[in-house]
Amino acid sequence: MRETIGFPRALLFYYYYPAWRAFFESLGQICVVSGETTKAVIDSGIKVTVDEACLPVKAFHGHALSLSDTCDRVFVPRLVSVEKKAYICPKLMGLPDMVRQNCSGIRRILDPCIDMSRNSRAYKREVYATGRLFTGNGRKIHAARERAKQTYQAFAKLLQGGLAPIDAMTRLDLLDTPGDNGSRSSLGISTPAKAENNRPLVIGLLGHPYIIYDSFLGMNVMERLRLMGAHVVTMDMLSPQVIEQEAAKSKKRVFWTIGRKLLGAGYYFLKPGIVDGCLLMSSFACGPDAFIGEFLQQESIRSERQVPFMTITVDEHTGEAGVLTRLEAFIDISERSMLR
């Protein structure tokens, strides 16, 4: 039977939706995505979650609730690990339990457990078990898995080539409309900053994908930086080899996948001659970010050229005006460092 599967536009949707969509569509299912994050979405998530939850988890609940009336199932994977000997944040491991407990209005949750920490066998078993919910034909599931793999590879290539996830999904025809990041005037920016030599200011932007690529949670920072005249580079544009090489400089291996990626990209950005300023967007109440931010802060002080480094922490109370003022000051300092 054909079912409609709803995907909350939050958390690791920004990395894995293309693969999951390819998988389910190959099995004849219909995939729909919740709308962009808005204040109403956040408010509905806040109403059902505990205060201690981080903003992205609250947003996920709001997105999941927005799909409850229109979908047969809402996709809430239990993400334990996406690579050997490394893990995803515990809040994502417990996400289906949280959503079941907090969102009684959601009829059915589709919650495959993704755990690649030891080997890929358990992961394959889970993918086939998920496929069997929709077909008894093993070959079809195998073909769907292959299509998901190819789609993921094409998507990852577009990210490395410089596209943001929503734009890459649109390019692959996986979303109907590109993200609307707002016009210059609606973002409160009148004059782009001018670099005083012949090259643009380069800013390394760090942050979890569900913050920096979500224009509401991330306060449109990526677009604001671009409108201020900066060329923005994110960790997704770096090769995995560069990230691993840099992250290996940490005395102890960071076993959180995204934390390690942030650290590796941050160490790389803070080397002389790579970027003119490095900005970390973090969520209040995020455990992994608390120490990653500290490591990067120390590295920026130690580094030979002292690349300007700033952290912006967002929560449901973050005001736009305060962020804009800090961004302008950051651009100003980065320009001065560029001219040194």
Instruction: Show the binding pattern over residues 264-283: x = contacts ligand SF4 (CB under 6 A), - = does not.
Output: -------------------x
Q: Is 289 in the site for ligand SF4 (CB under 6 A)?
A: yes
Q: Is 54 in the site for ligand SF4 (CB under 6 A)?
A: yes
Name the minimum Å distance from CB 48 to ligand SF4.
16
Total site size for ligand SF4, rule CB under 6 A? 12
Determine the Cα–Cα distance for residues 286 and 304; give it in Å rounded to an integer: 29
Smaller CB distance to ligand SF4: residue 56 or 293? 56
Name the minimum Å distance from CB 130 to ligand SF4.
23
Give one DSSP letter per residue of 220-276, joined into a string.
Answer: THHHHHHHTTEEEEEGGGS-HHHHHHHHTTSSS---BHHHHHHHHHHHHHTSTTT-S
Q: Is 112 in the site for ligand SF4 (CB under 6 A)?
A: no
Question: Applying CB under 6 A, which part among 51-59, 147-155, 160-168, 192-200 lies near ligand SF4?
Answer: 51-59
Phi (first) and psi of residue 107, to 5 degrees: -70, -55
Q: Is 118 helix (H, G, I), strand (E, B) or coil?
A: coil
Q: Do 88 and 257 form a contact (C-beta atoms < 8 A)? A: yes
Cross-sheet strand order for the sheet of 309-314: 230-234, 201-207, 277-283, 309-314
Q: Is 63 in the site for ligand SF4 (CB under 6 A)?
A: no
Smaller CB distance to ligand SF4: residue 189 or 217? 217
Q: Is 141 in the site for ligand SF4 (CB under 6 A)?
A: no
Site residues (CB under 6 A) for ligand SF4? 54, 56-57, 89, 91-92, 208, 283, 286-289
